[in-house]
């Protein structure tokens, strides 16, 4: 079957697609959340479920034809379950999830982002899908009064288009942002509920370790998820990565497959590797700042020298200028 996105919006869907329609498979059974997040999410779900009753069966949709979109913001650090929960909401509604990787769309289609944002709303309407703007920090941020840059102008237009579309749309829209997103007040007003995704506590971590495995996964007797949860204060995403690494390591060991088990040392080693990988990433982000500081220090050291040189240069130029003036005056006198 041909991709309906490609048929409707050929320019939006290419090899590195920034828009993807997903048939959700993951449910709330697969998610373990801290109590506060759970409560906020339940509240969001109640709103979604009541929506049909209020706006369709009770007719309020006809009385209030605009401004009825259910817009949620899922805010929190990476790997805390924002995407999985968006999928679970779509699953609970029996709808597809239209995933928009906003930052990718923005960088791929400079100059066309506002048009594309409008297009995905049309598409979500046609497909009756839950619209999910992933990595939407840029979209959510305040409009700027400085429109001297094309990029800034475009960002402002995107927010305006988004506000208009939210006004017209009558479905469910979810934005995923990190905690630092600086919300435009007009945009903020249209968000019904902000769901804060926090890093899991020790109890949640223990359960996340468990839900990351399948009942067929061979886990050795010596494994203690409680110990792992206590030893590593990490996100669900990190636990997922460690579980997959541990399984790979156990599977790669010699011997018949039937005898293979994932042991505690596989999980420990895998988590250490995940953490080491993250440290490398952080360093590569921090390193340029160190470099920047060193450069600034070096510049600070040579600045007085430069100033001295500049003073000398100025004096030399002034002396040369005076000499030239004298020579020219002499020449004029000679010729007159
Ligand atoms: N609370 C959780 N319960 C169970 N699994 C989780 C949880 N959080 C994360 N995971 C696991 O980690 C994976 C990554 O999580 P997810 O993609 O939902 O994080 P995210 O908050 O969207 O991160 P990002 O901001 O990087 O997009 C999930 O597929 C899931 O396997
Ligand atoms: Mg995500």
At 167, is the pLDDT very low, low, confident or very high (cuts 50, 70, 90)?
confident
Does the C-beta of 33 come closer than 6 Å to ligand 1?
yes
Does the C-beta of 133 come closer than 6 Å to ligand 1?
no
Bridge-based pairing state of the strands 130-134 and 193-196 = unpaired
**What tokens does 103 get?**
């930052």
Determine which of 64-78, 193-207, 283-297 has the lowest per-residue pLDDT on average: 283-297
Nearest protein Cα to ligand 1, atom 10:
236
| 293 Cα–ligand 1 center, Å | 35
For the cut 70, the answer to whether the pLDDT of residue 111 exceeds it is: yes
Segment 35-63, tens digit of pLDDT: 889 898 888 888 888 877 887 788 887 88
The predicted structure's pLDDT at residue 289: 56
CATH classification of 4-196 is 3.40.50.300, yes or no? Answer: yes
CATH of domain 202-281: 1.10.8.60
- Name the residue of 28, 37, 81 whose CB sits within 8 Å of the most ligand 1 atoms, as the mutation to test its pocket: 81
Does the C-beta of 240 come closer than 6 Å to ligand 1?
yes
Q: What percent of the chain has pLDDT over 70?
A: 79
The predicted structure's pLDDT at residue 53: 81
For the cut 50, the answer to whether the pLDDT of residue 119 exceeds it is: yes
Q: Are 102 and 155 in contact (CB under 8 A)?
A: no
**Which ligand does the CA of 79 lie closest to?**
1
Nearest to 115 by CA among 165, 168, 71: 165
Residue for token pair 């869907």? 13
| 277 Cα–ligand 1 center, Å | 18
Does the C-beta of 208 come closer than 6 Å to ligand 1?
yes
Which ligand 1 atom is at minimum distance from the Cα of 77? 25
The predicted structure's pLDDT at residue 15: 37
**What tokens does 28 get?**
């709330």
Neighbours of 239 (CB within 10 A): 29
Q: Are 157 and 109 in contact (CB under 8 A)?
A: no
Helix, coil or strand: residue 262: strand
Nearest to 92 by CA among 178, 187, 15, 26: 26
Determine which of 3-12, 72-81, 98-107, 253-262 has the lowest per-residue pLDDT on average: 3-12
The full set of domain ranges for the chain reads 4-196, 202-281
| More confidently predicted of 40 and 291 | 40
Residues with CB under 5 A from ligand 2 (ion): 82-83
At 296, is the pLDDT very low, low, confident or very high (cuts 50, 70, 90)?
low
For the cut 50, the answer to whether the pLDDT of residue 14 exceeds it is: no
Helix, coil or strand: residue 99: strand
The predicted structure's pLDDT at residue 18: 83
234 in the Ramachandran plot: left (φ > 0), alpha (ψ -120 to 50) or beta?
Answer: beta
The predicted structure's pLDDT at residue 301: 58
Does the C-beta of 236 come closer than 6 Å to ligand 1?
yes
The predicted structure's pLDDT at residue 1: 39
Nearest protein Cα to ligand 1, atom 4:
31
Read off the pTM.
0.76
Helix, coil or strand: residue 248: helix
The predicted structure's pLDDT at residue 206: 97
Bridge-based pairing state of the strands 97-101 and 19-22 = antiparallel
Nearest to 84 by CA among 274, 214, 238, 237: 237
Mean pLDDT throughout 150-161?
A: 77
Are 4-196 and 202-281 equal in CATH topology?
no
Does the C-beta of 174 come closer than 6 Å to ligand 1?
no
Nearest protein Cα to ligand 1, atom 29:
84
Cα–Cα distances (Å) from 72 to 47, 309, 318, in that order, read 10, 60, 68
Report the C-alpha gap between 330 and 81 in whole angstroms.
Answer: 85
Mean pLDDT throughout 17-41?
A: 90
Does the C-beta of 81 come closer than 6 Å to ligand 1?
yes
Nearest to 122 by CA among 135, 131, 113: 131
For the cut 90, the answer to whether the pLDDT of residue 235 exceeds it is: yes
| 147 Cα–ligand 1 center, Å | 36
Determine which of 41-55, 189-203, 210-224 has the lowest per-residue pLDDT on average: 41-55
Does the C-beta of 156 come closer than 6 Å to ligand 1?
no
The predicted structure's pLDDT at residue 4: 54
Mean pLDDT, the chain, whole residue set: 83
Q: Burial level of 258, CB count in 10 A (0-12/13-18/19+)?
A: exposed
The predicted structure's pLDDT at residue 2: 44
Determine which of 242-246, 280-284, 289-293 has the lowest per-residue pLDDT on average: 289-293
Report the C-alpha gap between 264 and 259 in whole angstroms.
Answer: 16
Does the C-beta of 83 come closer than 6 Å to ligand 1?
yes
Q: What is the DSSP letter of 144?
A: -
Segment 55-102, tens digit of pLDDT: 778 888 788 777 677 899 999 999 999 999 999 999 988 999 999 988
């Amino acid at each position: 079957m041909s991709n309906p996105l490609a048929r409707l919006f050929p320019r939006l869907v290419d090899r590195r697609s920034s828009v993807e329609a997903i048939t959700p498979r993951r449910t709330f059974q697969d998610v373990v959340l801290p109590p506060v997040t759970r409560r906020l999410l339940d509240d969001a779900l109640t709103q979604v479920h009541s929506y049909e009753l209020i706006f369709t069966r009770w007719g309020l949709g006809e009385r209030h034809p605009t401004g009825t979109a259910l817009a949620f913001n899922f805010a929190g650090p990476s790997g805390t379950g924002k995407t999985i929960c968006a999928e679970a909401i779509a699953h609970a509604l029996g709808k597809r999830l239209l995933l928009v990787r906003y930052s990718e769309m923005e960088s791929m289609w400079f100059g066309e982002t506002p048009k594309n944002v409008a297009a995905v709303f049309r598409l979500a309407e046609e497909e009756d899908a839950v619209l999910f703007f992933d990595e939407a920090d840029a979209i959510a941020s305040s409009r700027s009064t400085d429109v001297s840059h094309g990029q800034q102008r475009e960002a402002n237009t995107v927010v305006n288009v988004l506000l208009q579309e939210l006004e017209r749309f009558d479905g469910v829209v979810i934005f995923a942002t990190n905690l630092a997103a600086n919300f435009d007040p007009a945009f903020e007003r249209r968000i019904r509920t902000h769901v804060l995704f926090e890093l899991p506590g020790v109890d949640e971590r223990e359960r996340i370790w468990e839900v990351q495995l399948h009942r067929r996964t061979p886990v050795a007797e010596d494994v203690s998820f409680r110990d792992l949860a206590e030893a590593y204060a990490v996100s669900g995403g990190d636990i997922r990565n460690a579980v997959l690494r541990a399984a790979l390591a156990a599977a790669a060991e010699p011997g018949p497959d039937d005898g293979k088990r994932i042991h505690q040392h596989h999980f420990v080693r895998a988590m250490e590797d995940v953490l080491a990988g993250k440290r490398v990433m952080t360093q590569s982000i921090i390193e340029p700042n160190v470099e920047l500081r060193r450069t600034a220090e070096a510049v600070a050291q040579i600045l007085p020298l430069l100033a001295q040189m500049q003073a000398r240069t100025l004096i030399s130029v002034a002396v040369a200028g005076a000499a030239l003036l004298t020579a020219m005056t002499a020449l004029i006198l000679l010729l007159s």
